[in-house]
Structure 1
Amino acid sequence: MRNGYGILFLLLLFHLAVPAQEPVDFVNPFIGTSNYGATYPGPVRPWGMASVVPFNVAFKKGAENQFEKDSEWHSRPYVAENKFLTGYSHVNLSGVGCPELGSILLMPTHGQLELNPEHYGSTYQDEVATPGYYAHTLDKYSIKTELTATLRTGLSKYTFPQGQSHIILNLGLGLTNETGAALKILSETEVVGHKLIGTFCYNPEDVRPVYFAIKFSKPATNFGAWKKMPPFKGVEAEWTKYNDTIKPYPQFRYELAGDDIGAYFSFETENEEVVYAKVGISYVSIENARQNLQGEQPDFNFDKTRQDARLTWNNLLKRIKVDGGSKDDKTNFYSALYHTLIHPNILQDANGEYPLMEKYGTGNTSENRYTVFSLWDTYRNVHPFLSLVYPEVQSQMVKSMIAMYKESGWLPKWELLGMETSVMVGDPATPVIADTYLRGIRDFDIQTAYEAIKKSATAPDSVNKLRPGIGKYRTLGYIPENHYENVWGTVSTSLEYNIADWNLAQLAKALNKKEDYRNFLKQSASYRNYYDPSTGMLRPRMEKGEWLTPFNPKAGANFEPVIGFVEGNAWQYRFYVPHDIKNLIKMLGGKSRFIKELQLCFDDGNYDMANEPDITYPFLFNFVKGEEWRAQKMVNQLIHKHYFDGPAGLPGNDDTGTLSTWLLFSMLGIYPHCPGDMSYAIVSPTFDKVTIALNANYYPGKELTIEANKSSKNAIYIQNLEVNGQKYNRYFIDHDTLVKGAHLKFELTETRKP
């Protein structure tokens, strides 16, 4: 017995000695770094301006195991399969589909100084990544690199071997289409400058500088600037030796500007000596970059910065507490939550200054000014998710959008660092603002917001920067094919306008603007003009009403270009009227036909999990009584097929958190099937229990609880549901019910409800 008590005592001590796992411990930043997920594993704070990311997309392994220039079109600074590193970039985008940023690269080296990245690059091993921290060892130099970040700064820790060590600044490498830069070495420990970024998705109007200030913890014994020499045309003899070579400028103290430039700092190091490099970022000025660095990183306290980053992440992640489920389930969930909270990110400096929207000049704010509004993606689920779980952040994002309108005259469409890139289609700011207001977040200037929304919906073609094709859209009820050169995908664009108009109508109704409500509600139903009864599809048509011929509903799959549609085909847009599904059901021939065709969308390979317009389709089965089990089955299948703990564990571009947010809602068992509609579609939750802490400044309830009692681990079908202790027979639930502090209790079985 005494031995038994001893074993129990030891087990108790072991249990007490092992700390409980926090949400941050389940995050795998490597998820999405393959399969074109376009995420990165480097450290960043929630909604942070700066990030420090291993940059490995400049070269790839080619013939005879040699590294050669990577010709692939990269929209991400890091790819899991690539293993040749050329530095660590300090401004980056997560999950986007076009190359941008990935700039201001630092690279530690050892031995003879080499300034060509093809030669100084190195493979690496022993990668580790957690929120706020990344580390690996460079094979070529035996240098251990560790990275962390604050909101506006990056901090690198390089553990060097004995001998001559170097830190190289490369302003030529990066993802941006711009190559111009300028720098000035101020001392043996400091270099400042700027790098041009822009032309996102080849929009020629988008160019602006990102400023930096870099300080080292140890004075360099030698330093200098360098530039890549361009080919000399018509010059013979000795000048040809400079063609496409890199020329150093030792002890250079003047400002150096141009394409493909950089600097180097050399140190005599002892074995395992640590040299730190800290980088401050600003989109306003070098002085602001230096102030950001001084305010957020006054010294080189790596351990404190790393721990602060971890704590910051954990405090936000634990707003949702999950119990039960497998370790992989928790990893997938919290990694998705982590990715959802990277963008939009702050733009203002520590002193409140930020670049004005679409104009030269500087604004100042006492609140957060957000940027990177990938709205064609995020209006569908990211912003409704933020409204539910982080309403204080969503409120400031809407305030940022309204401020952009005041500065530029228009709401953002796909805004990047105060520049309107005009990427993608539709009028996506409208559903974001309307949805936010209708969910009860109302501490922003709704009158100015409504003015901005209505302007985009009514301004004529000649001046409308948000809605090309609006003239024919309003007079004909559709955008005719080949009438407008500046309209990409007439059907897709019109459907996006329909959703925006429906949201505008709902907002008008809430504001008691009755005439606007009637007019925009009617306009939101104009998708019916695209319905072709002979094919059962929404089909492009010409100005006189004739259908586009020939027409293949499957053409345009896998993001291939096709007339009438944007990143999809007729099948993938067939059910894309989330604001009017009941009438769509009638138009397609009734409930039975609708279910048959919707199921065929999945069974016949027409559904694309990585394509935003159809990501809501699994939840549409809930609109037909008795068929809700299909949604429960389909969502479960899609989760297990496309999301997993590994670099390829996202189905495609995360699109600044959109695909991650799909997973979050799906695992919770609720999904916002249409922005502006205050109901969520109900499916089977993944976890035994989920507790969401609600913000008391916005919502009356203390917490939202979702429980699931499962007959087995394979139980995915809803047998019974109770809401606040009362039997609940619907498969939609109102936002207002949830934020009052609802308790949802599911009974799940392996067989569907008869």
Structure 2
Amino acid sequence: MFSRASSTSLHLVCFTTTMQTVLAAAEVDFTQYVNVFMGSTGGGNRFPGVAASPFAMAKLGPDVQSGSTDAYSGYLASGNVWGFSMTHESGTGGAPKYGVVSQMPVVGNVSNPLADLSQSRASADEGQIGYYKTSLNNGVTVELSATEHAGLYQYTFPSGSPSTIVVDVSHVLPSFRGLGWEQHYTGGNFSSFSDGHYEGSGTYNNGWNLSPDWTLYFCGKFSQEPTSSKTFTGTGTTLSSYDSTAMVSGSERLGGIFTFDDANLASRVGISFISSEKACQNLDSEIQADTTLQSLVTKAKSAWNSQILSKIEVEGGSDEDTQLLYSSLLGMFMIPSNKTGENPEWTSSEPYYDDIFTLWDTHRCHTALFQILEPVAYEEFIRSLIDIWRHDGFMPDARSSNYNGRVQGGSNADNVLADAYVKGVRGAVNWDDGFSAMQTDAEKTPPNNNDPKSPESSTKEGRGALPDWLRYGYITPSYNRAVSRAVEYSTNDFGLYQVAKGLGRNEDETTYLNRSRNWRNHWNPAASSTNHSGFVVPRRADGTFVTQDPLSCGGCYWGDAYYEDNPWVYSLNAIHDVYTMKEYIGGDEKFIDRIDKLWDLNIFNAGNEPSFTSPYLYNFVKGAQWRTVERSRGIGKLYNSGATGLPGNSDAGAMEANLLWQMIGLYPMTGQTTFLVLSPWFPKLTINLGNGKSLKITTTGGNKDTAFYVQSLKVNGESWNKAWVSWEDVFADGGTMDFVLGSSPVDWATGELPPSPASADNDG
């Protein structure tokens, strides 16, 4: 059963007693519970097309144009389709990236391939994992499937007219925001051969990470010989050459036109960042001439089932919640892209992951779940970050088209490595190199890349405001995003402390623990707002504080002191030093009220990553865990499994990961082994941890929507009175968590408070 873009929920098949049976990995196709259109509209920017496996390099889908609206993933629910391209990202913002190696079906002969060939749709697009379908108003039906490095287009044309495919090398997703982040096509080549196949490359630049020229190669073959094939070049919509089969190269728009007599046609395309020869090898090894579309769909479903979806099994719960869980898992693992063997920049035996958008978004909760559900790929990802440092000089905070950029706050690869280290990721990771990569962020100022949005320091990689950080222990207003950067630099340095401690680097351990407390240097106890005093504010070089309304962040963007949130939120973001935050704010009662005010004053935004952890900090006050549960349930209500089901941009799955933790009933404190206890959604939920290990979570006595307060908890069969668990308690070797829920709050968490490792008083 295919989901439709216009649906707000996914019709599911093969239910028994409305999902009151266990969804067993060995018996159930979990893909049937996935709506690929979840979060694809309403600002979610999710890619609904075909990603044949988690982290697949090829992502085949439609490119839609609708006025001056940016199509970040290529898809828009309304507007005209102007091509179907091989490369997309999912859940990104800023400006679109990729949308290259495109082809467009046209009924009849084409006189000018540079003209507007776009078509509206006769009906809403349809899709499921491994399959996508578009019905165009010209009568052409396009069905898509893909592999990791290749795609299969299956066309059904109206009978009685020639069937034409236009391959446009110069096709690229545009941006209309006027920020200077739009992509450009800068040149390419196209060769059409006597056997009917074609190959070539396109070179492009810019996009959200301001990358210089990068090249993607392609190799295409059809299921039948064309009756005619031509190449073309031109500028804008003006055709300058229109030749029989030949090689064409240059900076003009270019491509090929292939015309066929048959109404049914298949088109196979391989891609590579290395060469057109490698693109042909990818095509021939992954999609042969006799490969059927259905076989690729089946293979894609198997990949997603085995690698991701089967890692969480649930029993009970509503149809909608089950759809929401599995649809969120899909969105979480679309990117980064595994480009191992496809790195044109250097030769290495290490894995290589690209399309990282962005660790600023994902380090808070996405990467922690990534490790749990896909530990093998996660170790590869960590190794890739370190290898990028070896060859590029810095780890990325974001990366795409083989180029670092852009950094929004701190060097948050440091947090990701620290989180992996303290949770036992070892394998083939060279942690001495890992720590050296982190130290590069902490000690070396990156060259300024002269970003027009923040020209005073680098936004490409590293910590652009590091000179102030090292000189003053805080960041002055001479740097953009000074306060939010300072809070993040503190958490980054805490990450270095964690790894230095584990590696026995005692001097570094002391240095970075002390530096992790530097956020305190931005704390102005005199700054006040709505009966609260003390907020992180800008500070001048002479030590004086800038007068700052804590309810304002200016534009909350690149040129302001705070990025994408305000002083209220950033004043709660030193999650490694919570007890100091509590002391500065005025104790437990004021701390609770400070968190409450995020809602009372309409500050909290579930679509903003700096707010992600704030709702669960109640767990650092005895007797207040029930407040965390209330906030968690409220956040869960902002999601659904439909096309508008995300409360903000997916941000490469960060938004989905945030929701998945609500469903599980835990929340990670990044860079630490602590997980705060929330309240699970399902009567039974099992996380398969690999090697025969699992975490089994049960709830009794309540329900997800009206009786969700924790009454009691047992961990591994023992009564538990703490509002947190550690990695060692439930994840290192698996475990059990058995909740009793009820309709009213109960003060059950009377034991030790969660650790606050950077605080002098670590018991609250």
Q: TM-score, normalised by structure 1?
A: 0.88
Alignment partner of 2:655: what SS? helix
Distance 2:447 2:63 in 1: 43
Equivalence for 2:13: none
Q: CA deviation at 1:656?
A: 0.9
Distance 1:131 1:428 in 2: 31
Q: Deviations over 1:612-644 (max 9, x none)?
A: 11111111111111111111011111111x210
Q: CA deviation at 1:462?
A: 6.9
**Residues 474 and 708 (structure 1), Cα distance of their counterparts in 2 relative to 1, 3 Å cut:** same
Q: 1:499 aligns with which of 491, 496, 510?
A: 491
**Residues 74 and 303 (structure 1), Cα distance of their counterparts in 2 relative to 1, 3 Å cut:** closer
Matches within 5 A, 1:274-289: 274-289=264-279
* 1:670 is the counterpart of 2:666: yes
Equivalence for 2:316: 324
Q: CA deviation at 1:117?
A: 5.5
Matches within 5 A, 1:522-537: 522-535=514-527, 536-537=534-535
Equivalence for 1:216: 222
Q: How many residues align?
A: 691
Equivalence for 1:597: 594
**Residues 394 and 54 (structure 1), Cα distance of their counterparts in 2 relative to 1, 3 Å cut:** same
* 1:694 is the counterpart of 2:669: no
Alignment partner of 2:242: what SS? strand
> Do the aligned residues in 2 keep the contact of 1:100 with 1:198 (CA within 8 Å)?
no
> Do the aligned residues in 2 keep the contact of 1:201 with 1:423 (CA within 8 Å)?
no
Q: Deviations over 1:697-728 (max 9, x none)?
A: xxxx6111011114345211111111111111
> Do the aligned residues in 1 keep the contact of 2:121 with 2:134 (CA within 8 Å)?
no
> Do the aligned residues in 1 keep the contact of 2:209 with 2:404 (CA within 8 Å)?
no
> Do the aligned residues in 2 keep the contact of 1:717 with 1:750 (CA within 8 Å)?
yes
> Do the aligned residues in 1 keep the contact of 2:550 with 2:566 (CA within 8 Å)?
yes
Alignment partner of 1:284: what SS? coil
Equivalence for 2:163: 165
Distance 2:122 2:347 in 1: 43
Bigger CA drift: 37-46 or 221-230?
221-230
> Do the aligned residues in 1 keep the contact of 2:537 with 2:545 (CA within 8 Å)?
yes
Distance 1:38 1:529 in 2: 38
Q: Deviations over 1:214-264 (max 9, x none)?
A: 11111111121223435xxxxxxxxxxxxx434561414122332432221
Distance 2:689 2:520 in 1: 40
Distance 2:409 2:254 in 1: 37
Alignment partner of 1:125: what SS? coil
Structure 2, unpaired ranges of 5+: 1-15, 175-182, 449-457, 528-533, 748-764
Q: 2:80 aligns with which of 77, 84, 88?
A: 84
Q: Deviations over 1:412-436 (max 9, x none)?
A: 2212132112332211111111111
Q: 2:721 aligns with which of 729, 748, 751?
A: 729
Q: CA deviation at 1:161?
A: 1.9
Distance 2:191 2:488 in 1: 47
Distance 2:374 2:106 in 1: 42
Equivalence for 1:457: 442
Alignment partner of 1:87: what SS? strand
**Residues 660 and 613 (structure 1), Cα distance of their counterparts in 2 relative to 1, 3 Å cut:** same
Alignment partner of 2:725: what SS? strand
Q: 1:312 aligns with which of 303, 312, 317?
A: 303
Equivalence for 2:611: 614
**Residues 586 and 289 (structure 1), Cα distance of their counterparts in 2 relative to 1, 3 Å cut:** same
Q: CA deviation at 1:604?
A: 1.3
Cα RMSD of the aligned pairs, angstroms, is 2.3
Distance 1:122 1:144 in 2: 12
Please tell me the residue identity of whatever aligns with 1:455: T
Equivalence for 1:153: 150
- Report percent identity of matched pairs: 28
Equivalence for 2:536: 538
Please tell me the residue identity of whatever aligns with 1:695: G
* 1:100 is the counterpart of 2:83: no
Q: 1:227 aligns with which of 225, 228, 233?
A: 233
Equivalence for 1:338: 330
Q: CA deviation at 1:186?
A: 2.1
Distance 1:555 1:189 in 2: 62
Equivalence for 2:35: 28
Q: 1:38 aligns with which of 40, 45, 50?
A: 45
Q: Deviations over 1:591-627 (max 9, x none)?
A: 1001101110122111111111111111111111111
> Do the aligned residues in 1 keep the contact of 2:415 with 2:492 (CA within 8 Å)?
yes
Q: CA deviation at 1:392?
A: 0.9
Bigger CA drift: 211-220 or 168-177?
168-177
* 1:515 is the counterpart of 2:507: yes
Alignment partner of 1:671: what SS? strand
Distance 1:436 1:596 in 2: 33
* 1:448 is the counterpart of 2:433: yes
**Residues 462 and 473 (structure 1), Cα distance of their counterparts in 2 relative to 1, 3 Å cut:** same
Alignment partner of 2:425: what SS? coil
Alignment partner of 2:498: what SS? helix
Alignment partner of 1:206: what SS? strand
Distance 1:457 1:146 in 2: 49
Please tell me the residue identity of whatever aligns with 1:385: L
* 1:753 is the counterpart of 2:760: no
Equivalence for 2:202: 195
Equivalence for 1:355: 344
More helix by share: 1
**Residues 544 and 695 (structure 1), Cα distance of their counterparts in 2 relative to 1, 3 Å cut:** same
Distance 2:360 2:535 in 1: 23
Please tell me the residue identity of whatever aligns with 1:731: A
* 1:369 is the counterpart of 2:362: no
Q: CA deviation at 1:51?
A: 1.0
Alignment partner of 2:576: what SS? helix
Q: CA deviation at 1:692?
A: 1.2
Equivalence for 2:190: 183
Distance 1:202 1:556 in 2: 24
**Residues 120 and 77 (structure 1), Cα distance of their counterparts in 2 relative to 1, 3 Å cut:** closer
Equivalence for 1:384: 368
* 1:584 is the counterpart of 2:581: yes
